Amino acid sequence: MKLSLSRKLFLAVLSTALFVALAMFVAGGWSFGRGFIGYINELTEQRMAVVLPRFSEAYRSHGSWDFLRDDHDEWFHMIHPQDAQIRAGATWDLPVSDLTGAVFRISLLDMQQRKVMGFIEMGADAVRMPVEVDGKTVGWLAMAPFQSVTEVGGERLLRNQLLASLVVAGISLLLAALIAGWATRRLLAPVRQVAAATHRLAAGDYAERVSVSSDDEVGQLAADFNQLAHTLERNEQMRREFMADISHELRTPLAVLRGELEALEDGIRTLDRASLRSLQQEVGQITQLVDDLYELSMADVGALTYRKQPLDLVELLHESLRGAAERCQEQGLSLELQLPLTAIPVLADSARLRQLLGNLLENSLRYTAAGGQLRIHLQEQHGLILLDWLDSAPGVDEADLPRLFERFFRGETSRGRASGGSGLGLAICHSIAEAHGGTLEARPSPLGGLWLRLSLPREAR
């Protein structure tokens, strides 16, 4: 049977508590039993040490152990410390309870270690104390040690101790079960919620979200899931927009090509240089679109080749913008170049930077209204090379500025599809800037249009 995560956690906590309870039960019983036996044996040895001088005096008085053979009364008098006090005229006290069984476990042996008096035979493990008279050993007091609690008669005490341990273990198991049940419900409920939401997300429901009810690891998991779902939803939306934009961008030149070819086929238009030029323009537009898409896809997988070498960015700008003044004049724009007189060296791919500058110029020429202005300013600041590209109205809504570098994105203002752009130029510029270790940012222009700032390190990575 397949176990759920909650059942596994419950069984793990309960099994751990059960193991600990059993270990405590076994260890407590063993420790109690062994300690109790040791304590009883120690008391018996103390009894032997107390009565040992009495046996020495008795032997000195009688000269042998014959007076004690088979005389149980005399043996009991000799072995009990209270009897010595009574015989000496001391005040009588309540006798010490002989739970140790010393009377029955202590025996008297003669010099040859033969039993004189006692109730059990002494084994090799017996504890022996010599009885000395005038420096001569005349006998031995021997004690048979206990081997188990039952031999002491303390079975009831051990049973009560084990019963108390069982009660404590049972209460511990009950508490462990309650805690495990609470943990499985309280801690794993968000995990089950995320798991169920993941199944729905995998099925294509990208609008799925889970509630974040804590700030621990489970809460972080829920927050990460929501972020993942948001990203997937956004990617799905971008994919649909991407397909719609590609369809639109391809449909327009293909429709023109089809109309031109049908007109040639029907004889409405003649096959001359003008018609061929029109067809070539539409083919070129499709080719440019396909090339841009291919370049962006190669940039996504890191397969674009960059041949970086030291170059002067000021000189590169002069070369790339050599015909920009004439083109701006054709569009009714004024061009203002603010370039430093000294060289600014960078490590970059000259072809890719020319492509970036060309795309920025085409963007300004396409979207800036006639009679406007284009200002290009290059400076070095805090170890960074800053190229500011500012044009005049129309501008872009500030809410749309972060999306300018998305593919096929165009604002809903006059900087839109009506101007003829595909919406890929700035995305390519952004990719080239990142490949050089720099950034490309969009801001509102003080001239009323768009302000694009290219930041490059002095020695680009």
Containing structural domain, residue 265: 190-304
Indicate the residue among 304, 339, 356 that finishes a domain: 304
Helix or strand run (H / E) with residue 379: strand 373-381
Q: Choose between 378 and 408: higher pLDDT.
A: 378
- Residue 111: half-sphere exposure toward Cβ, Cα within 13 Å: 9
Average pLDDT estimate for 345-357: 88
Q: What is the pLDDT of residue 429?
A: 87
Q: Which two tokens stand for residue 20?
A: 């600990």
Single-letter amino acid code for the residue at 278: S
Average pLDDT estimate for 265-277: 81
Beta carbons within 8 Å of 216's beta carbon, 6+ residues apart:
none
Residue-by-residue DSSP string for 24-48: HHHHHHHHHHHHHHHHHHHHHHHHH
pTM: 0.48
Q: Are 241 and 147 in the same domain?
A: no
Gyration radius of the chain over CA positions: 51
Question: Residue 13: inside a domain, yes or no?
Answer: yes
Say which CATH number the domain at 380 has: 3.30.565.10
Q: Are 370 and 241 in the same domain?
A: no
Q: Using CA atoms, how far apart are residues 47 and 331, in angstroms rounded to an integer?
A: 123
Question: Residue 416: inside a domain, yes or no?
Answer: yes
Q: Are 145 and 9 in the same domain?
A: yes
pLDDT tens digits, 21-52: 777 767 766 666 566 667 777 777 787 888 88
- Of the listed ranges 183-192, 353-362, 378-387, 418-427, the one predicted with least confidence: 418-427
How many domains are there within the chain? 3
Question: Residue 208: inside a domain, yes or no?
Answer: yes
Question: Residue 25: inside a domain, yes or no?
Answer: yes
Q: Which two tokens stand for residue 122?
A: 């002494």
Question: Residue 329: inside a domain, yes or no?
Answer: yes
Average pLDDT estimate for 52-60: 87
**CA angle, residues 326, 329, 335, in degrees to nearest 5:** 85
**Per-residue buried b or exposed e for 245-261, using 16+ beta carbons within 10 Å of the residue's own CB:** bbeebeeebeebbeebe
Highest mean pLDDT among 25-34, 94-103, 106-115: 106-115
Q: Choose between 31 and 155: higher pLDDT.
A: 31
Question: Residue 444: inside a domain, yes or no?
Answer: yes
pLDDT higher than 60, residue 416: no
pLDDT higher than 80, residue 83: no
Q: What is the pLDDT of residue 374?
A: 93
Tell me the pLDDT of the chain averaged across its residues. 77
Nearest-CA neighbor of 100 among 55, 151, 50? 151
Question: Residue 23: inside a domain, yes or no?
Answer: yes
**8 A C-beta contact, residue 215 and residue 243:** no
Q: Can you tell me whether residue 192 is helix, strand or coil? A: helix
What percent of the chain is predicted at pLDDT more than 70? 78
Q: What is the pLDDT of residue 461?
A: 43
Q: Are 256 and 329 in the same domain?
A: no
Q: Choose between 34 and 446: higher pLDDT.
A: 446
Query: Can you point out the beta strands (E) in 284-342?
Result: 309-312, 334-338
Q: What is the pLDDT of residue 91?
A: 42
Q: Using CA atoms, how far apart are residues 343 and 44, in angstroms rounded to an integer?
A: 105
Indicate the residue among 250, 272, 304 that finishes a domain: 304
pLDDT tens digits, 278-335: 788 778 777 777 777 777 677 665 556 678 899 999 999 988 888 888 889 888 999 9
Q: What is the pLDDT of residue 86?
A: 43
pLDDT higher than 70, residue 2: no
User: Does the bond joining 394 to the residue before it have cis omega, within 30 degrees of 0?
Assistant: yes
Q: What is the pLDDT of residue 451?
A: 93
Q: Are 222 and 95 in the same domain?
A: no
User: In this structure, what are the phi and psi dihedrals at residue 305, rounded to the nearest 5 degrees?
Assistant: -95, 130
Q: Are 341 and 427 in the same domain?
A: yes
Q: Are 198 and 293 in the same domain?
A: yes
pLDDT higher than 80, residue 438: yes
**8 A C-beta contact, residue 10 and residue 180:** yes
Band of pLDDT at residue 147, cut at 50, 70 and 90? low
Say which CATH number the domain at 217 has: 1.10.287.130
Strands 373-381 and 334-338, by their bridges, are parallel
Indicate the residue among 129, 155, 181 that finishes a domain: 155
Q: Using CA atoms, how far apart are residues 426 and 408, in angstroms rounded to an integer?
A: 9
pLDDT higher than 60, residue 149: no
Q: What is the pLDDT of residue 145?
A: 76
Question: Residue 165: inside a domain, yes or no?
Answer: no
Q: Using CA atoms, how far apart are residues 389 and 403, in angstroms rounded to an integer?
A: 18
Helix or strand run (H / E) with residue 141: strand 136-143
